[in-house]
């Protein structure tokens, strides 16, 4: 087996030492770790689907049981009355994204929320109608944007401005983003950025980008799919207009978990802001009076359409409690340490290029690598041996050690094994 050049940092003893010093190590036992042939897998796919907290089934069972025992009366009489259920998650979510409680709501899926907020915030006129996006752009976001342009009789070919990064890595320079906004400002209506890009793992300087957007009278919206629960972000203070997210990635909310939306308090009382409306967005004091006129709740809840899926909300709530108990500061501190360790070990391996930026403030928990002369067998052998990461055509692996449940030893073993697969 190919070994790393012997240095302090590339020995398995060092990995063990880092694990011993890890003050979040006890939290791994809060999660079910998938197994292969009776052995725990090394799970580096928390950026696609986070693992199941052991408490989740208790939270779901509580609601199943109240439904069983009470039927419709559970709306108000359940242990956690369903009528208010989404509110139980608000403070925890608001803390994770740096928002006021009234600025966030857990609902729908990411793409559905993106459509709802584009309906409110993308109101192009004949001067300002263009949209700037970062690339690679997740296909669903692109479809959503294109469809809104078409709804406004605009041709995406002339209306969508794509920020294209470095030829080999796709990494974008902050100046490039800022220059593109400034050069096109007179025509740009909206900027949609994924603060942590799903493909490259790059975390942009959102505070700076937002300032430039505001100076140029552009709306700024964020897709937090790979951001929430992964890096610190301050939506309110950074003056972000709106944001959307899903909760099954770093948040461990379970497959298809309810996503969420943020609307800055600046917009919550704006009568000129239109939206698609439903009964669950109605002011909750009179929601069940079934009035003919819609009365907005003056919070992000106004964007809710329907009563929420309680069983999935329960699963998400179980996971948010873990984030609240540990705190995002401690989580990101470990994350930076563990990802830096992965970065260091990967950079010692020949015949691969690391795409993700080397500076810790420019990334989250994910490192993306391009393997030279890639053979799909490499990925398949990783899986066969219980190393679960993500493969993107044609030659990219995305590896995401999650601070809540991964260990330094796993990072070490993965890197050593990958090295042997590529270079032996």
The helix (H) or strand (E) run that includes residue 43 is strand 42-43
138 binds ligand PLP (CB under 6 A): yes
CA–CA distances in Å: residue 185 to residues 189, 193, 195, 254: 8, 16, 20, 40
Nearer to ligand PLP (CB atom), residue 223 or residue 241: 223
Exactly one of 10, 11, 80, 140 binds ligand PLP (CB under 6 A); that residue is 140
Which part of the chain contacts ligand PLP (CB under 6 A), choosing from 220-228, 231-239, 281-289, 365-373?
A: 220-228
Question: Which two tokens mark 319?
Answer: 């996971």
Q: What is the largest CA-CA distance in the chain?
A: 74
Exactly one of 141, 301, 390, 410 binds ligand PLP (CB under 6 A); that residue is 141
Exactly one of 106, 109, 159, 210 binds ligand PLP (CB under 6 A); that residue is 109
Q: How far is the CB of 193 from ligand PLP (least distance, A)?
A: 10
Determine the Cα–Cα distance for residues 14 and 333; give it in Å rounded to an integer: 18
Phi, psi of 185 (to 5 degrees): -50, -40
Q: Say how many CA atoms lie within 13 Å of 91 toward its Cβ.
A: 5
Determine the Cα–Cα distance for residues 51 and 41; give it in Å rounded to an integer: 12
Determine the Cα–Cα distance for residues 82 and 392; give it in Å rounded to an integer: 40
Q: How far apart are the first and last CA of the chain?
A: 7
Exactly one of 111, 227, 230, 407 binds ligand PLP (CB under 6 A); that residue is 111
Exactly one of 30, 45, 110, 228 binds ligand PLP (CB under 6 A); that residue is 110
CB-based contacts of 108, cutoff 8 Å, min separation 6:
116, 258, 259, 261, 305
Contact characters 170-209, ligand PLP, x per CB under 6 A: ------------------------x---x-----------
- 3-state DSSP assignment of residue 63: helix
146 binds ligand PLP (CB under 6 A): no
Q: How far is the CB of 109 from ligand PLP (least distance, A)?
A: 4
Nearer to ligand PLP (CB atom), residue 39 or residue 392: 392
Nearer to ligand PLP (CB atom), residue 63 or residue 223: 223
Exactly one of 128, 148, 226, 363 binds ligand PLP (CB under 6 A); that residue is 226
Please give the size of the binding site for ligand PLP, defined by CB under 6 A.
13
Which part of the chain contacts ligand PLP (CB under 6 A), choosing from 146-154, 219-227, 261-269, 341-349?
A: 219-227
Which part of the chain contacts ligand PLP (CB under 6 A), choosing from 15-23, 104-112, 274-282, 347-355?
A: 104-112
What's the CA dihedral at 41, 45, 46, 48 to 10 degrees?
A: -140
Nearer to ligand PLP (CB atom), residue 105 or residue 246: 246
Report the b/e string of 175-213 with b at 16+ CB within 10 A. eebbebbeebbebbbbbbbbbbbbbbbbbbebeebbebb
Strand pairing class (387-388; 42-43): parallel
252 binds ligand PLP (CB under 6 A): no
Exactly one of 63, 103, 223, 395 binds ligand PLP (CB under 6 A); that residue is 223
- Which parts of this chain interact with ligand PLP (CB under 6 A)? 109-111, 138, 140-141, 194, 198, 223, 225-226, 246, 259
């Amino acid at each position: 087996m190919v070994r790393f050049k012997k240095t302090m940092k590339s020995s398995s003893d060092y990995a063990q030492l880092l694990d011993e010093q890890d003050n979040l190590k006890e939290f791994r036992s809060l999660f079910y770790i998938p197994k292969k042939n009776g052995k725990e897998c090394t799970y580096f796919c928390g950026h696609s689907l986070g693992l199941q907290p052991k408490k989740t089934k208790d939270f779901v069972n509580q609601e199943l049981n109240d439904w069983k025992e009470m039927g419709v009366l559970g709306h108000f009489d359940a242990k956690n009355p369903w009528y208010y259920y989404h509110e139980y998650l608000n403070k925890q979510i608001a803390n994770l994204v740096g928002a006021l409680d009234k600025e966030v709501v857990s609902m729908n899926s990411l793409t559905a929320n993106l459509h709802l907020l584009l309906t409110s915030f993308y109101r192009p006129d004949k001067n300002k109608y263009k949209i700037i996006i970062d690339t690679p752009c997740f296909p669903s976001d692109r479809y959503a944007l294109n469809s809104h342009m078409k709804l406004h009789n605009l041709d995406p070919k002339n209306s969508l401005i794509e920020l294209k990064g470095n030829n080999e890595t796709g990494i974008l320079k902050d100046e490039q983003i800022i220059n593109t906004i400034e050069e096109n400002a007179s025509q740009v209506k909206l900027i949609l950025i994924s603060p942590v890009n799903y493909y490259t793992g790059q975390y942009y300087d959102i505070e700076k980008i937002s300032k430039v957007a505001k100076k140029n009278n552009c709306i700024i919206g964020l897709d937090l799919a790979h951001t929430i629960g992964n890096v610190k972000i301050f939506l309110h203070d950074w003056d972000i207009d709106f944001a959307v997210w899903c909760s099954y990635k770093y948040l461990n909310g379970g497959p298809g978990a309810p996503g969420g939306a943020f609307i800055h308090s600046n917009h919550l009382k704006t009568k000129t802001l239109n939206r698609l409306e439903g009964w669950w967005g109605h002011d909750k004091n009179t929601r069940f009076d079934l009035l003919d006129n819609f009365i907005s709740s003056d919070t992000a809840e106004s964007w809710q359409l329907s009563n929420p899926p309680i069983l999935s909300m329960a699963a998400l709530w179980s996971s948010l409690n873990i984030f609240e108990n540990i705190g995002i500061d401690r989580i990101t501190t470990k994350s930076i340490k563990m990802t830096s360790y992965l970065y260091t070990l990967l950079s010692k391996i020949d015949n691969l290029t690391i795409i993700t930026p080397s500076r810790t403030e420019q990334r989250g928990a994910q490192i993306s690598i391009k393997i030279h002369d890639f053979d799909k067998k490499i990925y398949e052998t990783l899986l066969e041996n219980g190393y679960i990461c993500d493969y993107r055509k044609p030659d990219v692996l995305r590896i995401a050690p999650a601070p809540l449940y991964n260990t330094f030893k796993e990072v070490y073993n993965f890197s050593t094994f990958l090295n042997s697969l590529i270079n032996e």
